[in-house]
Structure 1
Amino acid sequence: MIIYAEVECLLYEGNSLKHKRSLLKKVMTKLKNEFNVAIAELDFHDLWQRTKLGIVTISNEKAHAEKVMQTVLQMIDTFPELERTLTEIEHV
């Protein structure tokens, strides 16, 4: 089972692309290390206050893949520097 999510976020702190990239690197590294997911910034590369992330998890069990993705989304919500606004999830 493959589960793919596109997550749009607003970034409240900082006022530069340098700060945005630093924050995204911290968030993406934590998610990759803790949950073994693939993650990348998909859109809004030139806007410092907005981002769109693509996240993928693969498992041989549907329930496990869904649990991992929900935990990843909950982890994103714990970062006070950003707010998850739109989330689209696909089961492949």
Structure 2
Amino acid sequence: MIVGTAKIYLYANWVHSLKEKRMVVKSIIAKVKHRFNVSIAEVENQDYHQSIVIGVGCVSNSTRQANSIIQNVIEYVETNTEAFVEKVDIEIL
């Protein structure tokens, strides 16, 4: 069993309240869940308006497939949100 994980650090400078941030995060999570078969949630910085940290995880039987899934999710998030991707941490176990 191979587990692929990623932490995606996003910065949304136009967000001025936690309510606005929640709408952005829910939109990203819903889009990714609809398109990919992964687990996804906001994992850090829930109390900061402009900082979004999303965790993504998948389980596969090959390292190549797990890495491919994680990379596809990251590319999808980058292209389908206005937030700036600051950093991405990927780990394949």
Is TM (by shorter chain) over 0.5?
Answer: yes
Is 2:22 aligned against 1:21?
yes
How far apart are residue 80 of structure 1 and its match? 4.1
Give 1:66's aligned residue. 67
Whether the aligned pair in 1 keeps the contact of 2:66 and 2:92 (CA below 8 Å) is: no
**RMSD of Structure 2 on Structure 1 (CA):** 1.2
- Once superposed, which parts of structure 1, at least 4 consecutive aligned residues long, lie more than 4 Å away? none
- TM-score w.r.t. the length of structure 2 is 0.91
After superposition, give the CA deviation of every residue in 1:15-56 in whole Å (9 maximum; x if it has no partner): 111111011101011111111110111111111100111110
Unpaired runs of 5+ residues, structure 1, are none
Identical positions, percent: 29
Q: Which moved more, 1:47-56 or 1:12-21?
A: 12-21
How far apart are residue 89 of structure 1 and its match? 0.8
Whether the aligned pair in 2 keeps the contact of 1:13 and 1:81 (CA below 8 Å) is: no
Query: What SS is found at the alignment partner of 2:61?
Result: coil
Give 2:34's aligned residue. 33
Whether the aligned pair in 2 keeps the contact of 1:17 and 1:48 (CA below 8 Å) is: yes
Give 2:52's aligned residue. 51
CA distance in 2, matches of 1:75, 1:9: 13
- Give, as a single letter, the amino acid of the residue that structure 2 aligns with 1:19: E
- TM-score w.r.t. the length of structure 1 is 0.91
Give 2:87's aligned residue. 86
Is 2:9 aligned against 1:8?
yes
Unpaired runs of 5+ residues, structure 2, are none
CA distance in 2, matches of 1:80, 1:29: 12
